[in-house]
Every structure is written in C-alpha cells, then in structure tokens.
Structure 1
C-alpha cells in the first residue's frame, strides 16, 4: 500500500474497510464519487480475506467490461506484489490474453481471485464448474448500478447469488451512481447490507468546471473544439460522440489539424482496443474520441461510450483511470431509450477527468432545443450549475488552478 503512494485513506476507504475488516464483517453497498479510491478499498478487503492455504477461488469480482477487469487486476497485483500467493484468473473472452488460465472441466482453478464479465463468469461457474461459489469468501460487483439494472445481467447475478453461503461470504457492490431502483435491487441481492450512499447534491464533482456551448449548426461544434484547444492548457481529453461515423470523421479532421488523436469504437477488435487504451494511459496521444454500441448480453465486446437508443449502454470507460485527463467534451448529450436525460452516464463521463480532486473542464456542445432541455435537467438533477459560454469567450477563461 505504501509503495503505491497511499498515505492516508479517503472517506470511502475508511468506511468500507471498517465494515469489511471488522469482526463480524458486513455486506456493503457503497456509492462513491469517481476518483476517490473505491478500487483500492475493495482490493485491500479482498486481499485481507484470502487464505494462503486454500488453493481455489475465494474471491469473485464481476465487472461490466473487459477493460475494467484488466484495470482492477492491475491494482490488485501491485497491491499484492509482496504476497506471492495472490494470483488472478481473468474470466473474459479474449483468446489472445497471456494470463488466460488452463481450464479443465470440473477442476477448480488454483487462483484465489477471479475477475470477469457476467457471461464468462456464469459459464465458468455453471458449465465448466471451475469456480465453487459455495466456497467463496468475497463476492464483489463493480459498476453495480448498470449490471444490476440490465435484465440479462441482473438474472446472472441473482442466479449466482443463490449458491453463496451467507455465513462465510461477504458481498460488496460498488458504483459512482445508483438510481433508486438500483438500490432496491441491490438490497434484494445482498443480505442485510450496510448502505453507504451519497446525497444527490454531493455527487457532482466540484473540482470540475462545467460549461455548455450553443452551436447554431453542427459545423460549429468543431469550431468550439478548436477554440477550446487554442485557449486552454490541456493534458489529455476524451470526446464522446453518438455515432461511430461522427467519431471517425472528427478523428480524421482533428488529425489533419495536427492533433494527436485515436478512435475507440466497436469497429476495433479486442487487441486493437487494448493497444489504444495502453497508448492513451502512457500518454502517447492526447485525444481519445469514442463511440459505443449497446451490446446486450455480450459484455466482453463493449467499447467506450456513445449514445445509442438502448435503455442503458454499458461503457468501457466506466471506472477507467487516466490521471492526465483534464478535459471532457460531450459532442452529443447522453440520453436513454425514451430520450430522457441519462444522469448516471453524464456523471460517469465527467468523472473521467478530475481524478482525485485534480481540476478539469467539461464542455457540452449543444445545437438544439432538446439538447438545452437535457442539459438543464442534468444541472437541476445534481443541483450543480452548468455555465453557458460563447465560442468566442472560451479564450477569456481563467486558468483552473490546481
């Protein structure tokens, strides 16, 4: 822990570790703002509950995306670097993965920690039977709000839960956002949990300045982007689009203007996606433009976010930490299938910048009355202002002091 740079726990880490490491320990449903250390919190709890003498899966972590599985595994590996018995199996559908375990039907895995996406985890538990759910000591769900409210994945979670032993297995559900319906479902899934939930007004990240730019025509959206880059000192940025074609054309146009840019869309295979994210983390390019396609029941193939008309998309950007991201641009506003504002997705998007209270900017590019209504609903929902700014006035913004 000390080698990773942690000197004192954050608020969510204090709360979670108190309940999970206490005797008796408690089940947890926890909500925490992006960038406050929830991954470290449940990683410490998981490592602490692993019995070195037991060479079979003891902790199961279910996540919505392949990318998040790898990131959580990386955190645990760093945290357990002096504990050789801590090994991880990744339950994801990636034939190229170098850490893929040797699966033998009905022979339990030797790794004490399994991290995976719902479909593959279910396959390993029910068909291959390489995980004995009744022997688990930790059952953890990250980004629980989206998994527990998506019907396909909700069914998987509840079916797996039937095999857990309440007396010996602690359940942990984590997310930056929970709707009221998600909390009700989480409480049904988890026996007598401690619920740590944020007030809605405290969910918005106050270290991030949020603006909207009204663009009379779609063409002006690009003008706004160019003005933002001409006016502000920016580390890295993520631009969220609605359509893959939009992301592609925007990437080409920005590249022609000498921006260092990459796309992340469903047109890429897993290996290409992994390469793009690795390069982005290493700072090899500055702008990530993303568009996403809803993939019900196929969580291993989900890419970064764009808006589709699904009830709720599941986005690989959820939980992804890239410390140098200081700018988010919503080229298109997030919506649900009924065209209502998607509050949770908006919060997850803006949470990609301003990690651990670093300063950040969010610009929402608006070009219709409907976009205005969506934006105002989001501001009202979180009781946090989104300031209007004209394209020509962006250059007058004062530097955001860290």
Structure 2
C-alpha cells in the first residue's frame, strides 16, 4: 500500500462548542464517511450558545493503525478518555459538559500512548485550548517536582489566559504551575512548576540561564503559530527552545490559519504528526454582522467614534488602531471628555498591561483601545462590538486578511451575535475595505453618519 493510500482522511462537520444533539459516536452511527457527514448536517443547535457551522474538520492520520471505526477514534464524553478523577472533576467544574466537535477528534489523538505529534488548525472559540491543556495535565507525573509540560504563546496576554485555563482545569489536582513572561519571575530562582506557560523570548532566557530544567519535559505545545511567525524572531526562538527539550517530547501545534510559511514551520516543528485542519477557504465568521462608516477625514473618524460611545458600552467593545500612539491619543482625548476607556499596546510596562487586561475582563472599563497585541486568541465573553479604527494592512500596504479575521473574531464569541464596524475616511481606505469584502465574500453594510438615531436603531437590532 502506498503512503497516500495509508493516510485515512475523515471529514466531519464542525459544530464549534460544547453540545451535540445526538450522543452516539459518528463511527457507530454511520460506518461510511459520506453518511456520517450527511447525518451531521441535519443536526441543529438546541442551545443559544451553539453555532450551526458549515466548516469541516479534516483529520489526517500519520499511521495506518488509527482506525476511524474504532470507538476511541472519536469520543462523545470526557469519561471515555480514562482521565484521572481530579482532572475530570476540573473539566466538569468548568461547565464543559461534553466535548466540542474539535475535542471529539483531537483528544483521542492527543492522549494516545505512545504519544504522537499533532498539528491542529482551529479558531479560538472551538475548545482547542482546553484540548491541549488537558493533554499537558494528563502527561504530568505528580511524583516528579519539575517541568514536564511546556506551552508557548505569542503574547503575555494569551499566555496568562492559557494559564488561567490550566489552573482551573487542574484545580483539584496537586499539579504545580509556572508562568514565564517578562518580569514574572525572579532572575535567579529556578522554574519548578510541572506545567509551564510562557512567551518564547522569556522562556528561552530562563533556559539559557539554566533556570528551567528540561530533561523531564514530555509535552511541548505551541499555540497561535501563525501569529508567532508574524512577529520577527519568535519562530527562530521556538526552534531553539525545541532543540533544548528532549527529542522524544510530544509536539503539539495549533494555528488559526495555515498559509504556506506556517505549514512549512508546522511540519518541521511536529514531524510525522496527526493533523486536524479546517479548510482555509472556509475560514470566516458568519455570526458577525459587518458594517462600515464613511468618514470625511481622520478628525471626522474621531468624532464618529465619540458619537458611537453609547453603543460601545452596551456590553464591551474593542477598538483596533494601527499604531500605539493613535491608541494612546484616542484614549487620552476620550478620557478628557469624560468617557471611560483604557488603552493597551506592546510598549506599556508588563504589570500595566496585566492590570489593563484584568480590569477589562472584570468589566471595570467597557471600551478597550488597542493595537494588534490582543487581536488573536483572547477570549472575553462580554465583547460584542469590534471597531477597526484603522484597517489592518500588511507590510506592502495591502489588506491583512488574516489580521482582519482575528480582529473581528474577538466578538461573536461561542456563537453569540457580534458586530464589527470599519472606519473608512478616503478613497484608499475605501478600496482596501472593498478588497476585504471581496476576499471573504461577505457584504459589509454602510452606516450613514448623518442620522445617529437611525444608526443607533440599526446597530441595537444586532447587538
């Protein structure tokens, strides 16, 4: 049998979140993939948090022994995974009643023994963080008081969010944790947590200083790999870190998108890996209503933003700017006018960034003005409106479609209704917005700026 023939591809419909209307295994229901897919397409979400998604998950198995008809190939309950009782208790305490579709397929592959590498393409909001966190916790030998699982994230905000999930899921176990981001550890104190989460620069620094023992690391996870590669040097740092951990450590990589350079990186990072991937051309956010406002100038953009303030505070909102000085300037001007807003960008002190994110999560501020520093991976359930004050552009000045997708993906979380508003102020920005519209094959509706009562009525209908 050829290599191609030995690879089994199974396609199922992705229903993004926690519930499924039918508890039977797809393999048990329909031995043929075509029938299982047809059956899945009939399932309807019965809970308001569910997404009726048209996305498909493709599973490519790196060996011939993983049988799609095996009951362990796809699981319908966390009880089927043979987890330690304290981890099961942690999962159910987090209100994860049953696996999401991505977890159904990923967890048996992640938890199999001997461990196998995995490459996963999955947007945030599908349960992928819980899947790799559960994998890390499951691999820990509690009798060894040293790092055994390592997860890298591209930003301190995402690293802290992942650590929150680790601590919640491991709440009833004795597993210890350490977070390694800038200014989070004593310069001379060894890292002893059994599960370590950090950013590449900080983790490599502590490894270089011999403060992070690596000989017991069994699981190495990389989250948001596409974002990692967009930031100069982080990809190289990741490979240097991988060169220090044991060669037999299980490598797990997740990325929301897989352009060619990410694909090459992933295949080098996690060799001979099982794969779970979402078709790239189907990446879109259907639950988000997209609008644009046609402004006269940069100054008019600010005036429109101020006029939108009451709508921005209906729940919580994020305003994305191209440059940090724009974010600071808008935040200062709006604060001076008595509006409750806060700015966040990469040049702020680490403890200040942490405080801003914690305050925003608690709802102490309803409006966050930021750069792309939190465009990816950050889950704040209350966010219902995203404003692209400046459209995201790549280094060549063309629309950055993936950054746009990640930005507007901060709203409409877990199937909730979300709204994005793009600010256009000249012919060039209008053309860029039109390119985004054509790329995603989604209409972006114009909002007039001469009748705010009409604007309010239109937006409140979808918020």
TM-score (norm 2): 0.74
Match of 2:430 in 1: 372
TM-fit CA distance, 1:59: 0.6
Corresponding residue SS for 1:397 = helix
CA contact (8 A) 1:124 1:131 kept: no
Query: Which stretch of structure 1 is more off in the superposition, 65-74 or 18-27?
Result: 18-27
Name the CA distance, whole Å, in 2 between partners of 1:248 and 1:125: 35
Please list the CA deviations of residues 82-125 of structure 1 after superposition, one character each: whole Å capped at 9, or x if unmatched.
001x111122221xx4xx36845xxx743211111112211222
TM-fit CA distance, 1:127: 3.1
CA contact (8 A) 1:31 1:178 kept: yes
Please list the CA deviations of residues 3-58 of structure 1 after superposition, one character each: whole Å capped at 9, or x if unmatched.
11111222222222121012344312212123222211111111111111222211
1:36-51 matches, within 5 Å, as 36-51=126-141
1:292-303 matches, within 5 Å, as none
Query: Which stretch of structure 1 is more off in the superposition, 367-376 or 137-146?
Result: 367-376
Name the CA distance, whole Å, in 2 between partners of 1:233 and 1:63: 30
Match of 2:192 in 1: 110
Query: Of residues 365, 368, 371 in structure 2, which corresponds to 1:288?
Result: 368
Name the CA distance, whole Å, in 2 between partners of 1:40 and 1:265: 27
Name the CA distance, whole Å, in 1 between partners of 2:217 and 2:195: 10
TM-fit CA distance, 1:334: 0.6
Query: Of residues 105, 127, 130 in structure 2, which corresponds to 1:15?
Result: 105
Query: Of residues 64, 75, 83 in structure 1, which corresponds to 2:154?
Result: 64
Name the CA distance, whole Å, in 2 between partners of 1:90 and 1:212: 40
Please list the CA deviations of residues 164-193 of structure 1 after superposition, one character each: whole Å capped at 9, or x if unmatched.
4454x2111112223222112211221111
Query: Of residues 279, 285, 294 in structure 2, which corresponds to 1:199?
Result: 279
TM-score (norm 1): 0.85
Give unpaired runs (5+ residues) of structure 1.
Answer: 292-304, 306-314
TM-fit CA distance, 1:326: 0.6
Corresponding residue SS for 1:197 = strand
Query: Which stretch of structure 1 is more off in the superposition, 71-80 or 21-30?
Result: 21-30
Determine which structure has more spread, i.e. the larger CA radius of gyration.
2
Q: How many residues were matched structurally? A: 370
Please list the CA deviations of residues 316-358 of structure 1 after superposition, one character each: whole Å capped at 9, or x if unmatched.
4432221111110010011111112112211111111111111
1:101-180 matches, within 5 Å, as 103=188, 109-128=191-210, 130-132=212-214, 134-148=215-229, 150-167=231-248, 169-180=249-260
CA contact (8 A) 1:90 1:101 kept: no
Name the CA distance, whole Å, in 2 between partners of 1:201 and 1:383: 10
Please list the CA deviations of residues 273-300 of structure 1 after superposition, one character each: whole Å capped at 9, or x if unmatched.
2211111111011111114xxxxxxxxx
CA contact (8 A) 2:116 2:250 kept: yes
Match of 1:89 in 2: 178
CA contact (8 A) 2:119 2:254 kept: yes
Match of 1:323 in 2: 381
Please list the CA deviations of residues 128-149 of structure 1 after superposition, one character each: whole Å capped at 9, or x if unmatched.
25322x4321100111112245
Structure scoring higher RCO (CA < 8 A, sep ≥ 6) equals: 1
Give unpaired runs (5+ residues) of structure 2.
Answer: 1-90
Name the CA distance, whole Å, in 2 between partners of 1:114 and 1:176: 22
CA contact (8 A) 1:61 1:115 kept: yes
